[in-house]
Structure 1
Amino acid sequence: MMTDNDRENRRTLSNSAALGRHLRDLRVKAGLTQSMLARHIGYKNASMIGGIESGSRAIPVADIPTYAQCLSVRCGELTKLILQCRKPDLYHALFTVDEVNDARAQAQAQAQAAG
């Protein structure tokens, strides 16, 4: 019988693979090979990039700003994407409530302006 922890681990692995595919697509869109991206970030070879793109490795936190810059995405966007895929509970705790509150406040402001 599968436990809640087993389900969470399976979901995290699936999300990590999806994150890896998305990062690969961004790298290709940026016109970079794995080797080129590895050099820009400061890795000795492309195996780290391959691991990240397969979902088996995480981007080291210290490398997120450079990784984002190389892929031409904002650091905050990449960080949110990583959290959403690798730590969905933390992502939802940090962002979903704020986004709902922001949408509510925006709707109230529009209603006041219209009424």
Structure 2
Amino acid sequence: MGFAYLAALLVSLGCLALCDHRWRLAFFADARRAAWTVGTGVVAFLLWDVAGLLLGIFARGDSPHLTGLLLAPELPVEEAFFLTLLCYVSLLAWRGLERAASARAERARGVGAGGAR
């Protein structure tokens, strides 16, 4: 039971990667930029977590679903995977919405120019 949360995070990341592959939104469009974007977000959030832990604002808590492996005192390894999931889903949502808005604008220009394409 100790690996349930980590397994769920990994399955979720895998499903995001499948969506990314299907629509070529992030890593499958520009891997270096996507890695930089997700990596920067994960590092920033990990620093935020460490600051919160040092100030006593955050605490690990107990859960039978965690592996017990720690990146640092009170910082479970699952947190890095969760933050990766958070940043990756945010990037995919941004890119998907950006692509949809671009397609909508292109259709509007086509209709406004005298007809549909």
Q: Give the alignment's TM-score, normalised by structure 1.
A: 0.33
Q: Give the alignment's TM-score, normalised by structure 2.
A: 0.32
- Which one has the bigger helix percentage? 1
Rg comparison, structure with higher value: 2
- Which one has the bigger strand percentage? 2
